[in-house]
Amino acid sequence: MSRGSPIAILLVVLPLVAGGSCRIQGDAPDLDGQVVRLTLLHTSDIHSRLLPYYMDVGVVDRGLGLDQDNAPFGGASRLAFLLRRERAAAGRVMHIDTGDPFQGAPIFNMFHGEAEFRFLSEVGVDAMVVGNHEFDAGAENLARQLDEWAGFQALAANYLFRDPSFPGTNRLGELIQPYSIYNLEGLRVGVIGMGDVSSMHSILETGNSTGITPLDPVQTAQSYIDLVKPMVDVVILATHLGLSLDEKVIRGTTGADVVLGGHLHIVLHPPKVVQDCQTEEIRSATGCTPRPVVLDHAGAFMKYLGRLDLLVEQVDGDWEVISHSHRMIPVDATVPEDPVVADMMRLYVEEMDRIVNVGQVIGYAPNIVRRFGGDGGDSALGNLVATSMWIRQGIQTDFALTNTTGIRADLPAGVVTIEDIFNVFPFDNTITTMFLTGEEVQELFDYVAHRTTIRGCQSQAQIAGAKVTLTCGICEETGQEGCAPEIRIGSPVGTETWDDVPQISPDGVYELATNNYIAGGGSGYHMLRRNTTQQDSGVPQRDAAIAFIRAGEPCMEPTACISDGDCGPYGSCVCNGLWMWSGGSCVEVDENCTDRFCVLDECIDDLAVHYAGIVGGADADVCSWRNWSADECSTLPCIDETIEAAEDGRIEVEI
């Protein structure tokens, strides 16, 4: 029976296999009366961070063991070393990935998931849940990558696939299974996959049909627990649902022992313990007694490898988790590289450099440019992005708006490369323009206010050419959850302030620049999808941001100088040729300088380290590169308030 059939979810009985063959490690001993250890290695939301990267380590990550001095972080070869080491140190062990290995770095944009699946296959992942971003290059692409590169079982029990035998239907219904069963030296473990629900609906709404119908996660989970439980000793739900839905599934079901989750990029350390059998529906249907279920999330972006060790034993004839311990293992520069995976990644890096020079430097950021605002309103990076869309040659609309969640990373302080912009814009979204009436503009920002309200009062849009106030909470006038009482479109001129710019008129007509994802109704922007005046410019948001940055001025005007004192507290008076490696140190040779100029001090240091890191990182190399850096920093665009990379109050969130 095809999984395209609505009743297949209840009747399908799959062979006890993982990836086409039963996973058996050694002989199967008699485990009666024994306490058995089961080790679960957990990764999630890798988001294509197969190559090491730099980031600003926050308080939470520091508490989990990441140290800024141990940058860069992530990287497939380092994670591979940890996975092989932890497997070798464990007995009964599984590696489960809970979704979204795709999307988030240039390697995905260029190879569409091939590198991610090859990596997971090489390190021997036992099962991977299908996340929402696995569909970003289309369902056909996911089917092709699974077919060609996946040496593991892809799981999603709560996706009802269109019958693969129908003409034009992809093969996902054959390649993705609801569960797998593993025999680990006599301990039988069932893993049931649960894919994301909310984002799948969004994908379907935008017209990018995947041939999949998401199913209710609670009912589906219970159906498969009931199916798998008699055949196994331990039941694991591996999900890409997010924390709140994981907890809802646990409370509304009975029979699972462990839930490994993903999707929201959080870490649970220690794991939560949630009681199942909490709803009236499940109690009346099964007569169940509440049991503790271990719930674990392992973060994102390959910053950590999660290790969950369980002790299980038979209690009244059923296997139960009697205790657990948990570790989050940082993936940083202190971890050696696995040579096999390092060689694999090197081939992709060389090809990326051939296609697009992702390491090309485009600007310098004196401070980190954040995608979220400090007070919940506009953000520094959001203002830069929206402005780059708004004033783009050939666009130049009345105002611009982009969704905050489409900006996927901060810009790091220091040297900014094309790869950094890819990390900000992993999606290949283009700029779309359209005309809206004043009433439609009001509906648009009321919806932004609603999304802001339900997402912690952090503005869910970033804008340019407008000033907006969002009410986070119930609005007195409308009784609705979120509204926008102030919307001004235009910009102050001369001595004007925003108070001099009139509020929108219901009968007015305003031209909007946005991205094609929300223009098509993505993230619930249905009022934009209905608009019939849309024109897709074909200009990628990424390209608009790069061009906008490149048009900026250097952080310090390269004026003529005699000494550092002429350059202020943050500048140096330099020339190309000033530095020379001599006697084991980098010394200044003043006689090599004739025409000196002022340059931002930090730019010289950071750029020299950046270039030396590419071709050689010894102190002598850094010294040599300082001369080149001095010239480049005199013209390298500065990413700061001069190009709108600063919060300025254009969005105010009132609570």
* pLDDT for the residue 54: 84
Among 19-33, 107-121, 512-526, the least confident range? 19-33
Residue 197 pLDDT class (50, 70, 90 cuts): confident
pLDDT tens, 235-246?
A: 999 999 999 999
Mean pLDDT, the chain, rounded, equals 90
pLDDT tens, 68-83?
A: 999 999 999 999 999 9
Q: Across residues 383-409, what is the average pLDDT?
A: 95
Q: Where are the beta strands (DSSP E) in 479-568?
A: 481-489, 509-515, 535-540
By the 10 Å C-beta count (0-12 exposed, 13-18 middle, 19+ buried), 148 is classed as: exposed
Among 17-31, 476-490, 532-546, the least confident range? 17-31
- 8-349 CATH choice from 3.60.21.10, 3.40.630.30, 3.30.479.10, 3.30.70.260: 3.60.21.10
* pLDDT for the residue 163: 73
pLDDT tens, 562-591?
A: 999 999 999 999 999 999 999 899 999 988
* pLDDT for the residue 5: 32
**For residue 166, pLDDT beyond 80:** no
Q: Across residues 329-346, what is the average pLDDT?
A: 97
Secondary structure (3-state) at 224: helix
Q: Distance from CA of residue 182 to its chain's centroid?
A: 30
Residue 651 pLDDT class (50, 70, 90 cuts): very high
Question: Under a CB-based contact definition with an 8 Å cutoff, are residues 302 and 46 in contact?
Answer: yes
What percent of the chain is modeled with pLDDT above 70?
93
Q: What angle do CA 236, 241, 246 make, to 5 degrees?
A: 60
* pLDDT for the residue 168: 62
Among 17-26, 231-240, 356-365, 591-600, the least confident range? 17-26
295 or 164: which carries more pLDDT confidence? 295
Which amino acid appears at position 522 of this protein?
G
Question: Under a CB-based contact definition with an 8 Å cutoff, are residues 482 and 453 in contact?
Answer: yes
Question: Under a CB-based contact definition with an 8 Å cutoff, are residues 644 and 545 in contact?
Answer: no
Question: Under a CB-based contact definition with an 8 Å cutoff, are residues 403 and 541 in contact?
Answer: no
Q: Across residues 323-345, what is the average pLDDT?
A: 97
Q: Give the homologous superfamily in CATH for domain 357-553.
A: 5'-Nucleotidase, C-terminal domain (3.90.780.10)
What percent of the chain is modeled with pLDDT above 90?
77
Q: Across residues 443-453, what is the average pLDDT?
A: 97
In whole angstroms, give the CA distance from residue 438 to residue 398: 12
Q: Which residues contact 43 (CB under 8 A, 6 or more apart)?
A: 79, 95, 96, 97, 98, 125, 298, 302, 305, 306
Q: Which residues contact 45 (CB under 8 A, 6 or more apart)?
A: 98, 99, 100, 131, 262, 263, 265, 299, 300, 301
Q: Across residues 265-294, what is the average pLDDT?
A: 96
Q: What angle do CA 400, 136, 178 make, to 5 degrees?
A: 140
In whole angstroms, give the CA distance from residue 366 to residue 320: 54
Q: Across residues 590-594, what is the average pLDDT?
A: 87
Answer whether 0.85 is exceeded by the pTM. Answer: no
* pLDDT for the residue 104: 87
* pLDDT for the residue 583: 87
Which of 457, 363, 501 lies closest to 419 in space, CA to CA? 363
The H or E element spanning position 233 is none
Q: Across residues 246-263, what is the average pLDDT?
A: 97
By the 10 Å C-beta count (0-12 exposed, 13-18 middle, 19+ buried), 476 is classed as: exposed
In whole angstroms, give the CA distance from residue 183 to residue 191: 11
Among 210-214, 444-448, 601-605, the least confident range? 210-214
Residue 10 pLDDT class (50, 70, 90 cuts): very low
**For residue 205, pLDDT beyond 50:** no
Look at strands 651-654 and 466-474 and give their pairing. Answer: parallel
**For residue 21, pLDDT beyond 60:** no
Which alpha helices (DSSP H) does 69-197 contain, by range? 76-88, 106-111, 114-122, 139-149, 172-175
Among 6-15, 616-625, 631-640, 646-655, the least confident range? 6-15
* pLDDT for the residue 316: 82
* pLDDT for the residue 317: 82
In whole angstroms, give the CA distance from residue 600 to residue 604: 7
User: How many residues are listed for the chain in this entry?
Assistant: 655
Q: What angle do CA 121, 127, 130 make, to 5 degrees?
A: 100
* pLDDT for the residue 507: 92
Residue 24 pLDDT class (50, 70, 90 cuts): very low
Question: Under a CB-based contact definition with an 8 Å cutoff, are residues 195 and 133 in contact?
Answer: no
**For residue 414, pLDDT beyond 80:** yes
